[in-house]
A and B are shown apart, each in its own frame.
Chain A
């Protein structure tokens, strides 16, 4: 009704000045402006001064990841990589007098469990931020919770596009995306290796779909489409049907979006059947575990990585970041071997602590996110500078090619 009131006032004004054509026109546009200004109001800016999880002595960080089950290796490795740095920080005085208390819950790479865990972490454990989630289907599942609770989620071990597009300041990625990995893979296969019959083998869930889309988009640039697509259901090893289709297509290269167990079985079965195209995996596969499972069958299998190889014996160029990771891992988890996944976890922890450090002691979720946005050209000691920005919530963009040679993952360019 207020709207009507305004309109009638305008009309009255218009009426009282009628006659002057120019002015009437002017007023007509004014009237239109009134209508336009009545458009729905903008949503309030998503800012929060929330400092839940910041205790006097510690900072509560929550994480739900696969510590057991078929992806247990990935979760364990990530956690150990991250924890080795966090424990190091906690031992050296913590952050502004607080230690980081990472509450972990096992979700066995099950999205439902991950969601349930996350709800518990936010609602019951009252954590400050979520950290080190593993896997695409699991992490994607909790996006609504992150949005609703306005809680930052940092350092996910997944390159899913859903966590990057649309831009969401609560979802802070550190690694390159699957799109970037698959694009690099396609570039390598089509441009360098000159193979144009490319098949895709993928896990039938958010993770696999994401990789498939990335591959298809990259192939489209060369005017190609996948010659065959095979898939398997998460948590199973039913790869035979997919393999059959791909063998039939006679593809010269197979881009694989899966986990180490299924992918290893796929490659092993293919080798058994004398089918040896170029096998190309993405980082999430768990390179070391894949190599271990493949054994001699792994020779020549390519894996794209988002972090440099976690080794110190690669000639003169020792990366200080990698060096520290190996050192700390040896110290806190002497039984564990360095891995790509672990290094990623370690780097995640580096960024987490940096972002917790920057706002000072009066930290809250908003200042934490601002701190992340302020991190620019940050040297992690991996010869790959990290940068965030106000609309850039992915720190690293580089993709590394590794190839399995003698059971080892060797970097090549």
Chain B
């Protein structure tokens, strides 16, 4: 079967036809053979018996007279003509089974007398015996006079005769079958050729097309193909036509594909953004466009083979986690990517799955947003400075206190010196100690201001929100207290860290606290019902998020304005008091660190701002 399957279509058809005919022929031959043998044998027996009966009738009178000469003639008559082949011998015997006449010319077989004697001559019968080495049907026909048997005619039918007859018939039959087989041989050969020739032509043309990459697909070629396949109106013609249609369509779509490839290639090459082709599993860079090489300063050869995560501080864990099967476009914003010369740029990452040279890849676009980030920083700084400005009176007062203390101490020591009065050793030490303490205090205030006011760049570090809250408390807590406002800290010390930047985080808290202070002060001005202002900062964590709430008992927020407060340049304050950029900046910073701001509160009941960040968990897992 395996061999058969390996044959060509032509040979398959050919062999199938031939095999079928051969099988049928053989079956017919076998069937006919068995039919012939039994039929002929029976016919021979019948004919033999008939002849013997004829001889028996004629021999009656001669048997009565015992005329051996006439009986011999009768016996030989049975063998006359073409019966010679069939009738091997004929014996006429009397009722005692003595042979009276026979047709053995050249010699009596040895056992013939015994055979004749052993026959039952009372009734017709046919026995299968061996005479003189020949297998014969020994036919016995009684010769009767009245009701008594007076003798018998015994005849040997040559079996060889039947066999030769069968052989002749079989030969004729087999010759006929062979002729049929030969005819079918040629017919099936022709048929196979007729079917497979167009197919072969089709295959040849197909191969030509493939070799030449469809370039020869002109009208002439197609016409030639139709002509050579010799197709007319049969299935093969349809096949050829379908094939031609398919090829034409294939060529069209291939052309389209080529055009689109060209288009995309030009987009890839000349697009404004750096684009990387990254292996989906290993994140190895497979290709990069010229913009990428120029932005990062690497040669194209250097880039190819590098890991995408080596380029920048892209959180690979997060990237993979966010990118399970890559159906959606993922954006990571403000990612820091390093150049070859050590400089860095901030980029927004766009990723989309694709296929590149039969591999699953991710197309990563890294949009350079360094300028934007810089502008953000400047804006944030401006806003911070505005706040510091507002606080400058309070801060000056705060610094004045140690200065006054130092002044008092130093004047006391000077006065004592002028008076030439001895200062007690222990007083002297105490004053000096106090001065030093006050200097340290002033220096701390100045240092904190300096730190706070420093312009910070965008970065992500692991920080504890509690630290930021404490730091803000140190800057502003005392001033609030001077304005009759209590800053209450309710810190949960077990909160996990977040990815953010201390300075920015402090600015967020600082802004919100100063806003709260303003709200409380406004309430004081309206003179409605509170003794002291309260600003409460509480930190908390909830599953995988960390946050803090800053609430106050100020004037609250009108629900109608709730939607507007995060808009830029929207302010409720009087002209010149605020720019309306506080909350938008806060929101911008929080979003940079993947956090969210929400607000709640009613007019007259105070407001509460709630900031949430994703917790920075080690290994990305709990």
Stretch from B181-189, B330-338, B448-456, B580-588 at the A interface = B181-189
- Asked if B68 is an interface residue, CB under 8 A from chain A, the answer is yes
Q: Which of A113, A123, A141, A144 contacts B107 (CB 8 A)?
A: A123
For the complex, give the distance between the alpha carbons of A39 and B171 in Å. Answer: 8
Contact yes or no, A148 B105, CB < 8 A: yes
- Asked if B84 is an interface residue, CB under 8 A from chain A, the answer is yes
Of chain A, the residue at the smallest CB distance from B178 is A7
- Asked if A38 is an interface residue, CB under 8 A from chain B, the answer is yes
Residues of the B chain whose Cβ atoms lie less than 8 Å from the Cβ of A148? 105-106
Q: What sequence of 0s and 1s flags, for each residue 26-44 of chain A, a beta carbon within 8 Å of any chain B beta carbon?
A: 0010010001001110000
Residues of the B chain whose Cβ atoms lie less than 8 Å from the Cβ of A31? 178, 182
- Asked if A353 is an interface residue, CB under 8 A from chain B, the answer is no
Contact yes or no, B22 A145, CB < 8 A: no
- Asked if B168 is an interface residue, CB under 8 A from chain A, the answer is yes
Contact yes or no, A149 B106, CB < 8 A: yes
Q: Number of contacts between A and B (CB, 8 Å)? A: 71
Residues of the A chain whose Cβ atoms lie less than 8 Å from the Cβ of B185? 11, 14
Contact yes or no, A4 B76, CB < 8 A: no
Contact yes or no, A119 B179, CB < 8 A: no
- Asked if B26 is an interface residue, CB under 8 A from chain A, the answer is yes
Contact yes or no, A38 B108, CB < 8 A: no
For the complex, give the distance between the alpha carbons of A3 and B177 in Å. Answer: 11
- Asked if A300 is an interface residue, CB under 8 A from chain B, the answer is no
Given contacts A3-B171, A35-B178, A40-B171, contact A8 B22 (CB under 8 A): yes
Interface size on A, residues (CB 8 A): 29
For the complex, give the distance between the alpha carbons of A110 and B70 in Å. Answer: 10
Contact yes or no, B76 A144, CB < 8 A: yes
Q: Which of A14, A40, A116 contacts B72 (CB 8 A)?
A: A116
Q: What sequence of 0s and 1s flags, for each residue 366-404 of chain A, a beta carbon within 8 Å of any chain B beta carbon?
A: 000000000000000000000000000000000000000
- Asked if A93 is an interface residue, CB under 8 A from chain B, the answer is no
Contact yes or no, B69 A115, CB < 8 A: yes
Residues of the A chain whose Cβ atoms lie less than 8 Å from the Cβ of B189? 18
Residues of the A chain whose Cβ atoms lie less than 8 Å from the Cβ of B174? 3-4, 38
- Asked if B199 is an interface residue, CB under 8 A from chain A, the answer is no
Contact yes or no, A113 B69, CB < 8 A: yes
Contact yes or no, A144 B79, CB < 8 A: yes
Of chain B, the residue at the smallest CB distance from A38 is B171
Taking the closest CB of chain A, its distance from the CB of B163, in whole angstroms, is 12
- Asked if A167 is an interface residue, CB under 8 A from chain B, the answer is no
Contact yes or no, B70 A11, CB < 8 A: no
Residues of the B chain whose Cβ atoms lie less than 8 Å from the Cβ of A94? none
Residues of the A chain whose Cβ atoms lie less than 8 Å from the Cβ of B182? 11, 28, 31
Taking the closest CB of chain B, its distance from the CB of A96, in whole angstroms, is 26
- Asked if A242 is an interface residue, CB under 8 A from chain B, the answer is no
- Asked if A224 is an interface residue, CB under 8 A from chain B, the answer is no
- Asked if A122 is an interface residue, CB under 8 A from chain B, the answer is yes
Q: Which of A8, A14, A116 contacts B73 (CB 8 A)?
A: A116
Taking the closest CB of chain B, its distance from the CB of A242, in whole angstroms, is 27
- Asked if A112 is an interface residue, CB under 8 A from chain B, the answer is yes
Given contacts A123-B104, A123-B105, A123-B107, contact A145 B76 (CB under 8 A): yes
Given contacts A8-B22, A11-B185, contact A116 B69 (CB under 8 A): yes
Contact yes or no, B181 A11, CB < 8 A: yes
Of chain A, the residue at the smallest CB distance from B73 is A112
Residues of the B chain whose Cβ atoms lie less than 8 Å from the Cβ of A111? 73
- Asked if B175 is an interface residue, CB under 8 A from chain A, the answer is yes
Q: Which of A18, A28, A40, A119 has the most CB of B within 10 A?
A: A119
For the complex, give the distance between the alpha carbons of A148 and B89 in Å. Answer: 12
Residues of the B chain whose Cβ atoms lie less than 8 Å from the Cβ of A141? 73, 76
For the complex, give the distance between the alpha carbons of A110 and B72 in Å. Answer: 13
Q: Which of B26, B72, B108, B181 has the most CB of A within 10 A?
A: B72
Contact yes or no, A7 B73, CB < 8 A: no
Residues of the A chain whose Cβ atoms lie less than 8 Å from the Cβ of B126? none
For the complex, give the distance between the alpha carbons of A119 and B189 in Å. Answer: 64
- Asked if B80 is an interface residue, CB under 8 A from chain A, the answer is yes
Given contacts A11-B18, A11-B185, A144-B84, contact A119 B72 (CB under 8 A): yes
Interface size on B, residues (CB 8 A): 34
For the complex, give the distance between the alpha carbons of A123 and B105 in Å. Answer: 6
Contact yes or no, B70 A112, CB < 8 A: yes
Residues of the B chain whose Cβ atoms lie less than 8 Å from the Cβ of A117? 69
Of chain A, the residue at the smallest CB distance from B74 is A112
Q: Which of A8, A28, A35, A116 contacts B68 (CB 8 A)?
A: A116
Contact yes or no, A40 B168, CB < 8 A: yes
Residues of the A chain whose Cβ atoms lie less than 8 Å from the Cβ of B22? 8
For the complex, give the distance between the alpha carbons of A3 and B174 in Å. Answer: 8
Contact yes or no, B168 A149, CB < 8 A: no
For the complex, give the distance between the alpha carbons of A122 and B72 in Å. Answer: 14
The residues in A between 1 and 32 inclusive whose CB is less than 8 angstroms from any CB of B are 3-4, 7-8, 11, 14-15, 18, 28, 31
Taking the closest CB of chain A, its distance from the CB of B167, in whole angstroms, is 8
Q: What sequence of 0s and 1s flags, for each residue 79-118 of chain B, a beta carbon within 8 Å of any chain A beta carbon?
A: 1100010000000000000000100111110000000000
The residues in A between 26 and 69 inclusive whose CB is less than 8 angstroms from any CB of B are 28, 31, 35, 38-40
Q: Which of A3, A40, A115, A123 contacts B108 (CB 8 A)?
A: A123
For the complex, give the distance between the alpha carbons of A116 and B102 in Å. Answer: 10
For the complex, give the distance between the alpha carbons of A234 and B281 in Å. Answer: 126
Contact yes or no, B84 A112, CB < 8 A: no
Of chain B, the residue at the smallest CB distance from A146 is B105
Contact yes or no, A145 B171, CB < 8 A: no
For the complex, give the distance between the alpha carbons of A40 and B167 in Å. Answer: 9
Contact yes or no, B76 A115, CB < 8 A: yes
For the complex, give the distance between the alpha carbons of A50 and B207 in Å. Answer: 81
Of chain B, the residue at the smallest CB distance from A142 is B76
Of chain A, the residue at the smallest CB distance from B171 is A38
Contact yes or no, B106 A4, CB < 8 A: no
Contact yes or no, A115 B73, CB < 8 A: yes
Of chain A, the residue at the smallest CB distance from B80 is A144
Of chain B, the residue at the smallest CB distance from A35 is B175
Taking the closest CB of chain B, its distance from the CB of A379, in whole angstroms, is 36
Residues of the B chain whose Cβ atoms lie less than 8 Å from the Cβ of A39? 171
Residues of the A chain whose Cβ atoms lie less than 8 Å from the Cβ of B107? 123
For the complex, give the distance between the alpha carbons of A14 and B14 in Å. Answer: 13
18 further interface pairs, Cβ-Cβ under 8 Å (given A31-B182, A112-B67, A115-B76): A4-B178, A7-B178, A11-B18, A11-B182, A35-B178, A38-B171, A38-B174, A39-B171, A40-B171, A112-B70, A113-B69, A115-B73, A119-B105, A141-B73, A144-B79, A144-B80, A148-B106, A149-B106
A-B pairs, top 7 by smallest CB distance, nearest first, are A116-B69, A112-B73, A112-B69, A113-B69, A148-B105, A116-B72, A149-B105
A-B CB contact pairs (8 Å), 13 listed = A3-B178, A18-B189, A38-B174, A38-B175, A40-B167, A111-B73, A112-B67, A112-B72, A115-B76, A117-B69, A119-B72, A119-B105, A144-B84
Instruction: Give the interface of A toward B (CB within 8 A).
Output: 3-4, 7-8, 11, 14-15, 18, 28, 31, 35, 38-40, 110-113, 115-117, 119, 122-123, 141, 144-145, 148-149
